Amino acid sequence: MPEQTTKNVAVIRSAPETKADPFKPAQPAIPGVPRRDEKARGGMSEDTRTLIVVVGGLGGIFLVSLMVLMMFSQSSRDNATPVLAAAPTAIAPAAAAGTDGVPVGPGPIATTEEMSKAWSAKRFDFANPITHAASQAEVVRLPNGSYWGFMLTEPYGNCRLEYVQDLGRLQDFYGFRSDHPMVGNPCTRAVFDLTKYGSGANGLVRGDIVHGSALRPPIAIEIKVQDHKVIAVRSE
């Protein structure tokens, strides 16, 4: 019987070839973009890691530059010379004192005590509620106990009226004889009597024209008395 010789035959098994799938072409390698197989493994390509390092470095440089700029700006503001703001111009209310320290209406302009006598008078200024421009005025206590206020600027003109208590001046300058004070216009020498009513723009107004010529009586100011105060309310 022939002798059988057992030979050891080494069988080399090579790894199975990976065949390309024609329906799944190979993904191109793009720097910074991981391939699908890397995404599946949760890995990161070398290009991606390089890009992250570069972006992180640029972000750090930007933050440091921003902080330096903010510190420089704050230092400049601290060292800057302060600019003083101009004080606002105060608009004085029409109240306390006008020209020559006289009271200003609308508001209290006198007391009943200081005007207790007939024909007593007091100068005051009356301010326009809209423009705040003040005009000279006068208040007179009449013999019947009432008070009458009027503007000292003639209606439709620029001449300054005057309350004439000097009866001699009335006769010498105005050529008018009277037994009580009058209002006169030194420009036209017209005389107005506060005991009589004349025609005004809004009806009858005290100060009828008794001598000379004028367009109308002086512009009236409404006066009322409250708590011993003589108050100028409004002008006609």
- From first to last of its 236 residues, the chain has per-residue pLDDT tens of 444 444 444 444 444 554 444 444 455 555 555 555 544 444 555 555 555 555 566 666 766 566 756 665 555 455 544 433 443 333 333 344 555 688 999 999 999 999 999 999 999 999 988 888 899 999 999 999 999 999 999 999 999 999 999 999 999 999 999 999 999 999 999 999 999 999 988 889 999 999 999 999 999 999 999 999 999 999 98
Give me the pLDDT at residue 80, please. 47
Give me the pLDDT at residue 203, please. 87
Provide the token pair at 89. 């111009």
Quote the CA–CA distance of 106 and 130 in Å, as a whole number: 12
Give me the pLDDT at residue 171, please. 97
Give me the pLDDT at residue 22, please. 45
Give me the pLDDT at residue 5, please. 45
Provide the token pair at 155. 């209606």
Reported pTM: 0.58
